Amino acid sequence: MPKVTILGAGSAVFAKQLMMDILLTPGLEQGEFALVDIDGERLELSHQMAELLIELTGKDWRVSASTDRTQVMADSDYIINMIEVAGLACVRPDYEIPLKYGVDQCIGDTIGPGGLFKALRTAPAWLDILADTERLAPDALVLNYTNPMSIMTLVGVRASTLPIVGLCHSVQHTSEQLARYLDIPYDELVYEVAGINHVAWFTRLERDGEDLYPRLRERARDPEIYEQDPIRFETMLQLGAFVTESSGHFSEYVPWFRKRPDLIEKYTRAGYLGESGFYANHWPQWREAGDFEIKQYLKRKARGRDPRVKLERSTEYASYIIEAMETGRPAVIYGNVPNTGLIDNLPQDGVVEVACLVDRRGVQPVHFGALPPQLAAIDRWHMAFHELTAKSILEEDREAAIHALMLDPLTSAVCSLAEARAMFKEMVEAEKDYLPEFVRR
């Protein structure tokens, strides 16, 4: 009977989806959820939602909840980490201060100035979580969804002896998009992906043994298709492969699309296609809307009405990992794991995203080989950013964090070294209440 602890469960919509996925998994008839969040009010929403999902699915699961993780996490089999540290307080300075220096971010939570400062704010809590897990649930598998996911996973595997895998949904969602762009049934698409999170590449796209890249390039020259994903199509046409992250978010990972107003106008579009400040301007409202959605389910249930919860298992990997490990039914997922010879031409001490076989033995990464050199070069650039950020966190080295910012592709495209240092100092001053002491000094 698996015990699943969800940290950051106050993110009620995502917690709802992960719990629903697990409850809808064949063979997981009994188990326990332990929900944790420092926001008691939002935690209670997720607690009530969990009870409702258990009732709707008819599964024999129980649920506990606490603002103190040490009270509920003991003997967990799976730890799902999805915490957010000082997000509401810092989402504006993460976007607005870099913009003063010409660094125009769309999402800004995994890379660039926003991603760096999110890592610096989040790491202390993450390291505390791992220490508590080693003490209270030493046999647990840790599934990390918290952004910046690659950096948090890298910090985790270096600081802890626990098995840790970083998870995202960009491979699943992008493969579904590619099937639509190619106008073929999704179950006929055969693909292989490798790289790093958000900068992983579809190195193989086939149907019945036929290479689909010529067809995709032809489709990309149709303005109606190109406009649905302009930055990713442009990247594919120029560099030879389709990338896993959305056009808007990926535009922050490279220096070619956001460094001048004319390029922003040419390549970016509204929303997830590259809108400036899209995350900063909308995330607080999305959070409120998500809480409202959960409250509506619960209100309808309290009034004796159909709560109108659509019971559907998503493509998030967490439930498939738990299913494979608990039932022995194997699964293939794309996980973020240490590069132990998996991708030959990327740093072997970093974290990469590759296919992984999962069964009762756990998560087993599959060797990929070498990426095309132009793609590997882009990934190595980001792995250097990850490396410096992890060094800063683990060694309490403020200068390493500044060097990471200087090497960030988008920042370095528009800022001098002195400007990057000045930006770092200004962001520290704005966010000092949420940063570790070594950064504030």
36 in Cβ contact with 43 (< 8 Å): yes
Tallying the residues shown for the chain, one arrives at: 441
In one-letter notation, the amino acid at residue 366 is: V
Q: Name the token pair of 284.
A: 């607080």
Distance of CA 132 to the CA centre of its chain: 23
Q: What's the CA gap between 171 and 175, in Å, rounded?
A: 6
Query: Shortest CA distance to 311 belongs to which of 2, 91, 49, 108?
Result: 49
Q: Name the token pair of 87.
A: 């997000």
Q: Is 153 exposed, middle or buried, given 0-12, 13-18 or 19+ CB atoms closer than 10 A?
A: buried
Q: What's the CA gap between 298 and 49, in Å, rounded?
A: 7
Cis peptide before 148 (omega within 30 of 0): yes
Q: Is 441 exposed, middle or buried, given 0-12, 13-18 or 19+ CB atoms closer than 10 A?
A: exposed
431 in Cβ contact with 117 (< 8 Å): yes
Catalytic residue among 169, 198, 249, 403: 169
Tell me, yes or no, if 169 is annotated catalytic.
yes
Query: Shortest CA distance to 43 belongs to which of 78, 74, 16, 3?
Result: 16
Token match 């699964």: residue? 331
Please count the CA atoms within 13 angstroms of the CA of 441 that sit on its side-chain side.
Answer: 8
Q: What's the CA gap between 78 and 76, in Å, rounded?
A: 6
Residue 195, by phi and psi: left (phi above 0), alpha (psi -120 to 50) or beta? Answer: left
Tell me the catalytic residues: 169
